[in-house]
Amino acid sequence: MQLPALDRLPVPVFRCDDEGRLIWANVAWTEQLGVPPGEFWYLPFREFDAAQRAQLRSRCIEANEPFTIRLRAEPPGKPQRWYELVAQPAIPDGANQPQLLGSLIDVTQYTLGKAETEAILETAVDAILTIDAEGRIETFNQAACDLFGYSFEEVQGRNIAMLMGSPHAADHDSYLANYLITGEKKIIGIGRELEARTASGAMIPIYLAVSEIELAGRRRFTGIIRDLTEQHAAREALVEQREKLAHVGRLSTMGEMTASIAHEINQPLTAIAMYAQAGVKMLQQNRDTTKIMDALEKLNVQALRAGAVIERIQRFARAQDSVRELADTNELIRDLLKLAGSDARLHSIELKLELADDLPALFVDPIQIQQVVLNLIRNAIDAMLEIDCSNGRTIVVRSELNSQGEIEVSVSDLGPGVADNQVDLLFTPFHTTKKEGMGMGLSICRTIISEHGGELSYRNKPDAGATFFFRLPQHDA
């Protein structure tokens, strides 16, 4: 059977016997594949192995069905090309053996484009997957397999919820359905941090970015996932370091305050000794028991006072994980003054409070905020002592709600103010102008306040001294 109509067709067409031996081929076949009649048509298709040939034979010749397969041709002296082979049985008149009619569609461009895309996806560092409009997984690259611990075969066609943590897992189908109906985007095109579930059941922090694609009328969603485990670990390590530093700062402040603390404890201890001696004397003189009782009660009050000082110091100096709780600014300041007051008293400096009423609550680590106020007060005392309190002996601690709705706490002194050449150095770690200073106070204070979402700064007062202040956001109820 000759097929003159097909001879000039630009698509390679051939006819072969049931063994695959070429009986006839058109011009395009000869030009592109170069296999002459009498040879096997599949010679340039080296990967077309015996098993595939048997399949072609059984499907096409024995079952009399069309057969399609994508093949790579490597004709001698020509660049390789990809073809889609479409074969069908042909039983020409007079032929005693079944024959095959095949044509080849050149799909090189499409195949290479697809291969390149697949290579990019497979070698991408981020996990990339696609799901259909029902949430079923369609593609899952190598990085996704590595991240989740599943092979592609294990996830293919399964609902994406299997990779999610609750509550998202349970709600995902309704999210998707809701989006498809209303177009309301909760994550598509936005991206957010979530938790994902791996094959071992472990939950890992991820960043998920989702985009939507529509191909051939079908909607699909692509998710790019970045593992945040290391980032989170680094963040936690940093927070831990900062907490340790804040603790070291508190210990060093306590160290610097030993003189005033000793004074603060010595007072009740002296009183205790005095009341004890008086009690002994009264017993020796067989005095009225009510007088002895009175002395003992006073002794008890002083013992409690000394205990309270020690308890405050312990609480302040303790190493503890940062906690955030609702706190009242003024209460924090008043409570701290029991500790800071001793230092001021020792130097005959007055701590004056100007606290605004009805301040909104803070959500803070109370000890850390007290640490900042204590540092500012101690710096204020040092500054005033530096000039022998020649401008006066009062420090004003103020709290107020500023026009931005933030809570502002300030400590104003009557020291020399911050010198011009100190402006850039003030918050630099280890910068100090004091003989025994460490230069860590302000830099730790600034870190604490910025960790709480606020800022710490200062201004020189027009008359005398400096005001150091910090602002903190109020707690959203």
What string marks each residue from 382 to 421 as x (binds ligand ADP by CB under 6 A) or -? -x-----------------------------x-x--x---
- Contact between 342 and 263 (Cβ < 8 Å): yes
Which bin fits 382, alpha (ψ -120 to 50), beta or left (φ > 0)? alpha
For residue 73 the two structure tokens come to 């041709």
Binding mask 19-38 for ligand ADP (x = CB under 6 A): --------------------
Q: How far is the CB of 399 from ligand ADP (least distance, A)?
A: 18
Nearer to ligand ADP, 256 or 294 (CB): 256
Q: Which is nearer to ligand ADP, 268 or 415 (CB)?
A: 415
Measure CA 68 to chain center.
49
Choose between 199 and 426: whose C-beta lies nearer to ligand ADP.
Answer: 426
Q: Which of 379, 391, 399, 447 binds ligand ADP (CB under 6 A)?
A: 379
Q: What is the 3-state secondary structure (H, E, C) of 19-75?
A: CCEEEEECHHHHHHHCCCCCCECCCCCCCCCHHHHHHHHHHHHHCCCCEEEEEEECC
- CB 132, min distance to ligand ADP, A: 59
Among 131, 295, 438, 448, binds ligand ADP (CB under 6 A): 438
Report the distance separating Cα 228 and Cα 207, nearest Å. 7
Piece in contact with ligand ADP (CB under 6 A), picked from 187-195, 291-299, 307-315, 440-448 = 440-448
For residue 173, the tally of other CB atoms under 10 A from its CB is 14
**Shortest reach from residue 236's CB to ligand ADP, in Å:** 26
- Check residue 102 for interaction with ligand ADP (CB under 6 A): no
Tell me if residue 177 falls in helix, strand or coil: helix
The interaxial angle of helices 329-346 and 366-386, nearest 10 deg, is 30
Residue nearest to ligand ADP (CB): 441
Is the CB of 112 or the CB of 419 nearer to ligand ADP?
419
Rounded CA-CA distance 268/278 in Å is: 15
Report the chain's terminal Cα–Cα distance, integer Å: 88
Q: Which residues contact 397 (CB under 8 A, 6 or more apart)?
A: 333, 337, 351, 352, 353, 354, 355, 373, 377, 409, 410, 411
Q: Does 333 bind ligand ADP (CB under 6 A)?
A: no
Closest among 148, 175, 141 to 163, alpha carbons compared? 148
Shortest reach from residue 223's CB to ligand ADP, in Å: 47
Minimum separation from the CB atom of position 444 to ligand ADP (A): 8
| Nearest distance in Å: CB 467, ligand ADP | 8
As a whole number of angstroms, the distance between CA 245 and CA 223 comes to 40
* C-beta of 242 vs 431, nearer to ligand ADP: 431
The verdict on 380 binding ligand ADP (CB under 6 A) reads: yes
Min dist CB 372 to ligand ADP, Å, is 11
**What is the spatial distance between Cα 242 and Cα 233, in angstroms, rounded to a whole number?**
14
Amino acid at 217: G
> Which residues on neighbouring strands pair with residue 138, listed in sequence order?
none
Least distance CB 382 / ligand ADP (angstroms): 6
Q: Is the dihedral of CA 420, 421, 426, 427 positive or negative?
A: positive
| Size of residue set near ligand ADP by CB under 6 A | 22
Of 139 and 433, nearer to ligand ADP (C-beta) is 433
Nearer residue to ligand ADP within complex by CB, 203 or 385: 385
- By CB under 6 A, what part of segment 416-435 binds ligand ADP? 418, 422, 426, 431-434
Residue 439 in the binding site for ligand ADP (CB under 6 A):
yes
Residue holding tokens 């508190």?
A: 250
The binder of ligand ADP chosen from 87, 164, 349, 466 (CB under 6 A): 466
Q: Which of 250, 215, 460 is nearest to 339 (CA)?
A: 250
In the complex with ligand ADP, the residue whose CB is nearer, 102 or 417, is 417
- Write out the DSSP string of 309-336: HHHHHHHHH-------EEE-HHHHHHHH
Q: How far is the CB of 320 from ligand ADP (least distance, A)?
A: 22
- Contacting range for ligand ADP; rule: CB under 6 A; set: 199-207, 288-296, 345-353, 378-386: 378-386
Q: Is 441 in the site for ligand ADP (CB under 6 A)?
A: yes
SS3 202: coil
Binding site for ligand ADP (CB under 6 A): 375, 379-380, 383, 413, 415, 418, 422, 426, 431-434, 437-443, 466, 468
